Amino acid sequence: MKNIGIFCGGFSSEFDISIKSANTILASLPQKYNAFLIIVKRGDWRVQLDGESLPLDLNDLSFETKTGKEKVEVGLVYIHGNPGENGKIQAFLEMKNIPCINSGALASELSFDKWFCNQFIRGFDINVAKSLLFRKGDLWNSDQIVNELGLPLFVKPSDSGSSFGISKVNVIGELPNAMNKAFAEGETVVLESFLNGTELTCGVYRSVNGEHALPITEIVAESDFFDYDAKYLGKSQEITPARIGKRETELVQATAIKIYQLLRLRSIARIDFMLVEGIPFVIEVNTTPGFSEASIVPKMLGVEGKSLKDFWSEILEVEMPTES
């Protein structure tokens, strides 16, 4: 039985959400694998196994059990934010020659940064919002920003996987506070023009039959946009399948698959869109989308009629490393 370590927790504001996602995945993996959680905190990585919390030796990713020494043989990184969603743990595993089931270091890091990801996919004729990038310490002018992007506009931490720090700016006087809020979460901030349309999200994964797009979910947030409360505290309607036509459905799913392929993603990913007059604009790419029972992707799978166990069996069938 291969030892699969599910890395979860992490250093971001979504620590608890990651633990919930990882526990759902742990319960869904085929029993022919010996899977366990690895809870990552700063300076303290611990294996949760048979009711025990065991320290993980980062030199060789081994841990001592009652029956002897065990090692992590395969990694599944499910940390929302730093240091998982941004590819740092994937890179660490690559250096240790430990295969990873989900997207690798480069794909994860590129997808994680909203600015770089959208600029990359823009080069392949995929629609994204008009945007500006600022780093900590940069000078910026509210009038110039509004002249460039118009109002309303969105202010987001570019290098943070969290839903924290995002603001919708409706009047120019709100911009300074929005910038400060975003910079509190990351080193770079992206400002995007407002897209007036229907918010959608589409899950994509790879099976032995190739890339497959799940039923699309339409998001109707109680607030102005899909913020942390809407995403995790139930303050939104998530309607699956989305209330859009067949042509729009096929176009969004095809675009999601194209992005999945361009970024060389693996396992499950979720791509968020705004559908504007029948044209999909990409909002962001999520390589570790929420996977608790209340999360969007499990609901997509339910609409498709696929159990979580069957879903992860399909992923492992194609993503698990073969014996050399």
What are the tens digits of pLDDT across the range 190-217? 999 999 999 999 999 999 999 999 999 9
pLDDT (0 to 100) of residue 273: 98
324 pLDDT more than 50: no
Q: Are residues 34 and 153 in the same domain?
A: no
Pairing of strands 210-213, 3-9: unpaired
Has residue 294 been placed in a domain?
A: yes
On whether residue 40 sits in a domain, the answer given is yes
Count up the domains in the chain and report the number.
3
List pLDDT tens digits, range 226-284: 455 555 555 679 999 999 999 999 999 999 999 999 999 999 999 999 999 999 999 99
Average pLDDT for the chain: 93
Same domain, 95 and 224: no
Q: What is the CATH number of the domain that holds 8?
A: 3.40.50.20
Residue 244 to residue 238: CA distance in whole angstroms: 14
Same domain, yes or no, for 7 and 73? yes
Check residue 235 and give its pLDDT. 62
d(CA 187, CA 178): 14
pLDDT the model gives residue 136: 94
Are 186 and 213 contained in the same domain?
Answer: no
Q: Is residue 263 part of a domain?
A: yes
Region 293-311: mean pLDDT is 96
Same domain for 210 and 298, yes or no, is yes
The percent of residues above 70 in pLDDT, for the chain, comes to 94
Residues 123 and 230 in one domain: yes
pLDDT, average across residues 164-176: 94
147 & 223 share domain: no
- Average pLDDT estimate for 48-66: 96
The 8 Å CB, 24+ separation contacts for 14-17 are 14/80, 14/81, 14/161, 14/162, 14/163, 17/80, 17/232, 17/290, 17/292
> Which band of pLDDT confidence, cut at 50, 70 and 90, is reported for residue 159?
confident
Give buried/exposed letters for 38-47 (b at 16+ CB in 10 A, else e). bbbeeeebbb
pLDDT of residue 39: 98
Q: Are residues 95 and 180 in the same domain?
A: no
Look at residue 323 in the predicted model and tell me its pLDDT.
62
Confidence of residue 186 (pLDDT cuts 50, 70, 90): confident
- What is the number of H-type helices and E-type strands within the chain? 10, 17
Is residue 260 located within the same domain as residue 120? yes
pTM, full prediction? 0.92
What is the full DSSP assignment across 31-87? Answer: TTSEEEEEEEETTEEEEEETTEEEE-BTTTTEEEETTEEEE--EEEE--SSTTTTTS
Residue 189 located in a structural domain? yes
Q: Are residues 28 and 82 in the same domain?
A: yes
CATH code for the domain in which residue 282 is found: 3.30.470.20
Locate all alpha helices (DSSP H) within 184-305, ordered by sequence.
Answer: 228-232, 246-262, 296-304
Report whether pLDDT(162) > 80.
no
Looking at the fold, whether 28 and 62 belong to one and the same domain comes out as yes
In a domain, 239, yes or no: yes
Task: Answer yes or no: is 324 within a domain.
Answer: no
- pLDDT tens sequence across 91-126: 999 999 999 999 999 999 999 999 999 999 999 999
Domain hosting 165: range is 131-193
Q: Are residues 203 and 314 in the same domain?
A: yes
